[in-house]
Amino acid sequence: MQAVLYIEITESLDFSYEKPLLAYIQQCFPQVIQFDIDNHSDAMLVSYAIKLLEEANQVLLIVEAREGKTQTLLPFFEKLLVYQYKTLVVYNGNNAAADRYIHLVADERKRKDIPMEEAKTIIQAFFQSMP
The full set of domain ranges for the chain reads: 2-128
Higher pLDDT, 13 or 20: 20
Q: Indicate the pTM of the whole model.
A: 0.91
Residue 52 to residue 39: CA distance in whole angstroms: 17
91-117 tens-digit pLDDT: 999 999 899 999 999 999 999 999 989
Cross-sheet strand order for the sheet of 33-38 = 33-38, 2-9, 58-65, 87-93, 110-112
Domain spanning 2-128 has what CATH number? 3.40.50
Parallel, antiparallel or unpaired: strands 110-112 and 87-93: parallel
3-state class (DSSP) for residue 3: strand
114-126 tens-digit pLDDT: 998 999 999 999 9
3-state class (DSSP) for residue 105: coil
Q: With 0-12 CB in 10 A as exposed, 13-18 as middle and 19+ as buried, what is 99? A: middle
